[in-house]
Structure 1
Amino acid sequence: MSAMGRHRRPTVPQLPADADVCLRAIADEEPVVEEGVVVFPDSTVPYAYRTVHRPDGGTERHLVRLDPPPPCLPR
């Protein structure tokens, strides 16, 4: 059977992973803040992150490397 005459379905658009949080900030007209600690794949270094979703649709992202504490000094 030939492929001619067949219709292809359009691709389904993919929403960003944080679309629900962005929409909540817009709908509630209040900033929504997400905070946490993440370790990226193939790494052992932790990072603190803070994402602020603003009611105007904008987003601010901050990422800070968490250095390990200094070793204990002998007494």
Structure 2
Amino acid sequence: MAGRHRRPPEPQLPADTDARLRAIADQRPVVEEGIVTFPASTVPYAYRTVHRPDGGTDQHLVHLDLPRRPPG
């Protein structure tokens, strides 16, 4: 009887797999930059991720201090 067994789930690849493979294949760094706020937070952060041709990754996260509005 076919169909009695479930197929194992597909392996999940990291979200940045495309950028990592592109850096390795092209033999030059791939840079991703942007601004993000984390769940349940209103604090913005700037991020920069550099995928190196050797397969390594450098990640930088910087808290953005927004100017405060004057009262009134």
TM-score (norm. length: structure 2): 0.82
- The Cα offsets for residues 18-73 of structure 1, whole Å up to 9 and x where unpaired, read as 1001000000000000011111111110000000000011001000000122555x
Which consecutive residues of structure 2, in runs of 5 or more, have no partner in the other structure?
none
What code does the residue aligned with 2:14 have? P
- Structure having the higher Rg: 1
Aligned to 1:24, the other structure's residue is in SS state helix
User: Which residue of 2 is the match for residue 45 of structure 1?
Assistant: 43
Aligned residues with identical type, % of pairs: 75
Q: Provide the rounded CA distance (Å) in 2 between the counterparts of 1:18 and 1:49.
A: 14
User: Which residue of 2 is the match for residue 34 of structure 1?
Assistant: 32
What code does the residue aligned with 1:38 have? V
- The runs of 4+ residues in structure 1 deviating greater than 6 Å are none
CA RMSD, 1 decimal: 1.5
Which consecutive residues of structure 1, in runs of 5 or more, have no partner in the other structure?
1-5
User: Which residue of 2 is the match for residue 14 of structure 1?
Assistant: 12
User: Which residue of 2 is the match for residue 3 of structure 1?
Assistant: none
Aligned to 2:21, the other structure's residue is in SS state helix
Q: How many residues align?
A: 67
